[in-house]
């Protein structure tokens, strides 16, 4: 799949060129001839003989930037002074900062925000520890925890290199749901140490978002933290992906006129994301799912060393299919890929059932070329922003945590995940839904609000069903000047 110019490679070349009637035209033509998308031309300085010009353009990759430079310097008299990268400029000094929510204008403000007045609040929390989630930043703060072992498609690059990704995640939390999130990169790969550290820092947070931790350790870390903490713990690589996949599939099935109970679903990749997707689809009513790893289908009669594959053996592949992914795709209604790029062809997709649905979500290269898949499938989705129907976790996690924090939830149930998916799907109205629009835009403000509302409703219903008392939500602890 050929790369195309992208805003993620937005660069500006500052150059010197001889003054002339066709100077800027020639410069733009040279850059455009390399396949770049020119976005701006600015004359910075100009004399009778020389000009300094900034050419801004979107490139494909670093090599393409080099091609642009060579093309410009091939013009007589042109010298490239400097190349700046907008993405790196955005990251200078990081993407986050801390600002106080209260004004400290005079001595009275200081005496309430800090000593001596703050001691009264500390004593109130000491008497009622549960009030920490009302009277501190824990009320609205999430820890974004990673060990840097499975970052995007980059693999194990370490916690420091993972920081820009975690900062971006935190920025999305704030932008889309008003949640204060903070990166917590851990310089350890030891499962027990990660669990101990997260438990130790938990008092400062109202929830934990586990991010980019490699399988199978991520399963144990999430399971243990959910058991041992009284705040929600969410592994986004598993459940965030699963939520958005289910939302997209709900609408895709409506487009092709099929029911989830009746379709055969093939899932390529049964790691963190794949396992979570399958579990959520089963919860939604799917009856015929076949999972595939690099060795072929997951089926009864084979020995598996992990609990997740054993669960798949017991709960999927009712027909006992044993074989390769390409053979398993024959006659399938739905393909969901969370595995590796370019493992299928358009011809493979052509062997699926009529009205096929293809979600090729490997990044940056999907399992099958989306254009080739679209020649045979009725609906195609990817994880990329340069094709329709992007399956993007940002549709899920901001609103999910907004609802969990607002409801003062202590855990995340499967029903919370399912309800979040349904809420996302419902943002796309009946009159809007079509093969190229099965999920809403990440910039649709209604998404986070609807997801949060759905989460709050489920948490409150579950709390009422269990007989649990609802948490206090007032600003003051009991007895602190209230009558």
Q: CA angle at residue 441 from 438 to 442, to 5 degrees?
A: 125
The candidate with the shortest Cα–Cα distance to 284, out of 254, 259, 257, is 259
The count of other CB atoms within 10 Å of the CB of residue 432 is: 11
CB 53 within 8 A of CB 43: yes
Q: What single-letter DSSP state applies at residue 130?
A: G
The candidate with the shortest Cα–Cα distance to 84, out of 110, 57, 111, 104, is 57
Give catalytic status of residue 450 as yes or no: no
Active-site residue, selected from the candidate residues 9, 95, 114, 314 = 114
Distance CA 447, CA 371 (A): 28
Residue 295: φ, ψ to 5°: -95, -5
Active-site residue, selected from the candidate residues 9, 169, 205, 450 = 169
Give catalytic status of residue 9 as yes or no: no
- DSSP H helices in 36-158: 62-73, 86-91, 107-113, 118-127, 132-135
Q: Is 84 helix (H, G, I), strand (E, B) or coil?
A: strand
> What is the strand order of the sheet 296-297 is part of?
296-297, 288-293, 264-268, 334-337, 357-360, 379-382
Distance CA 379, CA 245 (A): 13
Residues 6 or more apart whose CB falls under 8 angstroms from that of 95 comprise 164, 167, 168, 170, 171
Radius of gyration, CA atoms only, the chain: 26
For every residue of 440-463, DSSP letters joined together read: --TT-HHHHHHHHHHHHHHHHHHH
CB neighbour class for 226 (10 Å; exposed up to 12, middle 13-18, buried from 19): middle
Distances 280 to 4, 232, 244, 288, 390 between C-alpha atoms, Å: 34, 18, 11, 13, 19
Strands (E) across 200-259 are located at 207-210, 233-235
**Pairing mode of beta strands 50-59, 6-18:** antiparallel
Active site residues: 114, 169
């Amino acid at each position: 799949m050929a790369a195309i110019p992208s805003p993620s490679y937005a660069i500006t070349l500052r150059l010197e060129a001889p003054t002339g009637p066709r100077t800027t035209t020639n410069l733009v033509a040279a850059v455009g001839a390399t396949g770049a998308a020119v976005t701006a031309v600015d004359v910075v300085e100009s004399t009778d003989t020389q000009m300094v010009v900034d050419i801004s353009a979107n490139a494909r990759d670093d090599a393409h930037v080099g091609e642009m430079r060579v093309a410009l310097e091939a013009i007589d008299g042109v010298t490239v002074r400097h190349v700046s990268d907008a993405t790196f400029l955005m990251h200078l000094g990081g993407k986050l900062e801390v600002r106080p929510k209260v004004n400290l204008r005079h001595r009275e403000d200081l005496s309430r925000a800090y000593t001596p007045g703050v001691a009264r609040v500390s004593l109130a929390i000491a008497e009622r520890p549960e009030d920490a989630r009302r009277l501190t930043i824990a009320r609205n703060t999430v820890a974004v925890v990673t060990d840097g072992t499975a970052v995007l498609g980059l693999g194990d690059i370490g916690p420091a290199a993972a920081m820009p990704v975690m900062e971006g995640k935190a920025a999305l939390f704030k932008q889309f749901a008003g949640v204060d999130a903070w990166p917590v990169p851990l310089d350890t790969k030891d499962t027990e140490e990660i669990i101990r550290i997260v438990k130790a820092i938990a008092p400062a947070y109202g929830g934990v978002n586990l991010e980019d931790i490699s399988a199978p350790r991520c399963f144990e870390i999430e399971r243990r933290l959910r058991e041992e903490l009284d705040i929600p713990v969410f592994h986004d690589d598993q459940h965030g992906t699963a939520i958005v996949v289910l939302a997209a599939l709900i609408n895709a099935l409506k487009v092709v006129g099929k029911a989830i109970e009746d379709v055969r679903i093939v899932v390529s990749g049964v790691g963190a994301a794949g396992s979570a997707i399958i579990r959520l689809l089963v919860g939604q009513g799917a009856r015929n799912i076949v999972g595939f790893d690099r060795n072929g289908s997951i089926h009864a009669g084979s020995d598996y060393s992990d609990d997740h594959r054993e669960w798949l053996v017991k709960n999927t592949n009712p027909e006992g299919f044993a074989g390769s992914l390409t053979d398993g795709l024959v006659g399938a209604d739905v393909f969901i890929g969370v595995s590796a790029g370019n493992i299928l062809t358009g011809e493979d997709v052509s062997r699926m059932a009529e009205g096929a649905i293809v979600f090729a979500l490997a990044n940056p290269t999907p399992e099958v070329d989306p254009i080739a898949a679209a020649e045979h499938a009725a609906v195609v989705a990817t994880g990329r922003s340069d094709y329709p129907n992007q399956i993007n976790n940002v549709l899920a996690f901001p609103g999910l945590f907004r609802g969990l924090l607002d409801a003062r939830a202590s855990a995340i149930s499967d029903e919370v995940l399912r309800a979040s998916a349904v809420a996302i799907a419902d943002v796309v109205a009946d009159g809007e839904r079509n093969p190229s629009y099965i999920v809403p835009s990440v910039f649709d403000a209604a998404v986070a609000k609807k997801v949060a509302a759905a989460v709050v409703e489920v948490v409150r219903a579950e709390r009422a069903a269990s007989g649990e008392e609802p948490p206090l939500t007032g600003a003051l602890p009991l007895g602190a000047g209230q009558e």
